[in-house]
Amino acid sequence: MNGNGVRRAAGLLVLVLVATVTVACSGSSDEASRQIGGRSVSEAEFRFGAAPAPPGDDVAYQPDVVLVGGGPAAVREMTGDGLQVTLDPGADGVDSLTVDRILYASGRVVGRVVAIEDSDRGRTVTLVPVELTDIYETLVFDTSYDIDPAALAIYTAPDTRDPVEPIKLLPEEDGQGDGDGTGGGADDGTVDGTDEGAGPTTPTSDPDDPTPADAPPSAEPGDDTTDTTDPADGDATGDGAQSLTAASVAEPPTIEMPRVHLVVGANPRRSGAASLPSVAPIAQTPPAPAPPLPGPVASPTAVGTGDFKIQPIASGGIGAQLAYDKNGTTILAKVQVQMQSPRLVARLDLRGGRINTAALELHGGAGFDASFEAGSRQGLSANIDANIAFPVDLTVPIGGVVAPLSVTFSQRLIVKSAFSSKNSTLSAAGNFGFQGSFTMGIVNGRQTLGGPSRVSVNKSLLNSTKGVALGPQGLIIGHAMRVMVGVGAFGFATGLYVDFITSFSVTRGSDLGIVMCRGGTLDMNVAGGVGYSLPKPIVSGINVFLRALNLKQINQVGGIEFARTKLISLSDTQPKSKICTG
Distance CA 366, CA 498 (A): 16
CB 388 within 8 A of CB 308: yes
Specify the amino acid at residue 124: T
Specify the amino acid at residue 295: G
Q: pLDDT tens-digit profile of 102-154?
A: 999 999 999 999 999 999 999 999 998 999 999 999 999 999 999 988 788 88
Distance CA 47, CA 69 (A): 17
The pLDDT of 152-158, averaged and rounded, is 80
- Name 83's Cβ contacts closer than 8 Å, sequence gap at least 6: 126, 127, 128, 542, 545
Residue among 110, 107, 108, 127 nearest 66 (CA): 110
* Mean pLDDT of the residues in the chain: 75
Q: What is the DSSP pairing of strand 256-257 with strand 242-243?
A: antiparallel
215 SS3 class? coil
| DSSP strands (E only) in 168-260 | 242-243, 256-257
pLDDT surpasses 70 at 74:
yes
Q: pLDDT tens-digit profile of 558-578?
A: 888 888 899 999 999 999 888
Q: pLDDT tens-digit profile of 292-304?
A: 556 677 778 888 8
Q: pLDDT tens-digit profile of 402-426?
A: 899 999 999 999 999 999 999 999 9
Which range (2-11, 67-76, 273-282, 438-447) has the least confidence? 273-282
**389: confidence class by pLDDT, cuts 50, 70, 90:** confident
What pTM value is reported for the model?
Answer: 0.75
Q: pLDDT tens-digit profile of 429-476?
A: 999 999 889 999 998 778 999 999 889 999 999 899 999 999 999 999
> Residue 481 pairs with which residues in a beta bridge?
411, 500
Residue among 70, 130, 71 nearest 100 (CA): 130
Phi, psi for 45 (deg, rounded to 5): -70, -35
Residue among 481, 241, 140, 145 nearest 337 (CA): 481
CB 343 within 8 A of CB 144: yes
Residue 467 confidence (pLDDT) = 94
CB 104 within 8 A of CB 66: yes
Establish whether the linkage from the previous residue to 575 is cis, with ω within 30° of 0.
yes
Residue 37 confidence (pLDDT) = 62
pLDDT surpasses 90 at 196:
no
* Domain boundaries along the sequence of the chain: 41-128, 158-170+216-228+241-265+304-533+558-581
Distance CA 87, CA 316 (A): 39
**191: confidence class by pLDDT, cuts 50, 70, 90:** low
The pLDDT of 491-510, averaged and rounded, is 92
Is 435 buried (19+), middle (13-18) or exposed (0-12) by CB count in 10 A? middle
| DSSP strands (E only) in 420-463 | 424-443, 446-450, 456-459
